[in-house]
Amino acid sequence: MNIGFMALSSGSSGNCYLIRTEKTKVLLDLGISCRSIKTLLAGQGLELKDIDAIFISHEHSDHIKGVKTTMMNTDCPLYASHGTLSEIVKKASPLPYERLIEMEDGEAVKVGPDLTVRSFRVSHDAREPFQYSFEAGGKKVSVVTDTGFVSDEIFHNIEDSDILALEANHERNILLYGSYPFVLKMRILSDVGHLSNESCAHTVVEILKRDRHPKIFLAHLSQENNTPEQAMITVKNGVEEAGFAVGRDLELRVIKRGDSSEYVTV
């Protein structure tokens, strides 16, 4: 049994990810328009009616922009934390409240006949942010974006992932010497901000030390404080300095801001 992953969009302009098995299809975040989601799904031979569940990480607009319209065009449930659901209801009503399902930290839910989805907390300046891992047939896909650091809890949930979308939001020096106001720079660099390329590289190295050979997607890149080339260089250098090699010990890809990625399976 295969499990597959594709970023329909990633970055501060909007986030939406597709995770699918042979029998089950789910979306993580709806930060782009319903029309864009429909178009991108059609490219994979899918329609919105094929989606079995939607999971939301947190209530920031680049993760919920398309919630209201998408939920009007589907019959599937939407899962999120209590805090996130509370904020979504404020920002995107009216919604089909009977299809909004609250998840607890660390809870696992079964979607369809073959997919298990588990939530875990991340550290971000949102009401109650979660991220998720998706497991089927002994294989695992995880997504970690919008967190200021990788806690022990986060690492425990992702260290055995076969496919991992991991935030590489900014290059620290580009951010520090860039045009952002000081307060915004400090927010991004804080423990409730975003992961830097350098922090991303450190996390990847720690995963490789567990004798894993994952497929890594660098995700949620900043438009102002990063480039795909810079993210790849920093993470690749960090991996190689630790004695590992891209191509031998892991597959490494960058999701360009606002673009969809290739579809990858394990």
Instruction: Indicate if the pLDDT at residue 145 is higher than 90.
Output: yes
Count: domains in the chain:
1
State the chain's mean pLDDT as an integer. 97
- State the DSSP code for 38: H
Q: Return phi, psi of residue 258, to 5°.
A: 80, -5
Question: What are the tens digits of pLDDT across the range 218-261?
Answer: 999 999 999 999 999 999 999 999 999 999 999 999 999 888 99
Nearest to 126 by CA among 99, 147, 102: 147
Is there a contact between 35 and 59 (Cβ–Cβ < 8 Å)? no
**Whole-number pLDDT of residue 12:** 85
d(CA 209, CA 35): 42
- Read off the tokens for 115: 């997919």
Confidence of residue 46 (pLDDT cuts 50, 70, 90): very high
The residues, any chain, with a CB within 8 Å of residue 46's CB and separated by 6 or more, are 18, 20, 25
Q: How many CB atoms lie within 10 A of CB 55?
A: 27
Q: Go through the chain and tell me how many residues it has.
A: 266
Question: What are the tens digits of pLDDT across the range 60-116?
Answer: 999 999 999 999 999 999 999 999 999 999 999 899 999 999 999 999 999 999 999
Instruction: Indicate if the pLDDT at residue 1 is higher than 90.
Output: no
Confidence of residue 24 (pLDDT cuts 50, 70, 90): very high
Question: What are the tens digits of pLDDT across the range 148-184?
Answer: 999 999 999 999 999 999 999 999 999 999 999 999 9
Instruction: Indicate if the pLDDT at residue 192 is higher than 90.
Output: yes
| Angle at 122 (CA atoms; ends 121, 125), nearest 5 degrees | 120
Q: What domain range includes position 149?
A: 3-265
d(CA 266, CA 258): 24
The residues, any chain, with a CB within 8 Å of residue 179's CB and separated by 6 or more, are 224
Report the CATH number at residue 44: 3.60.15.10
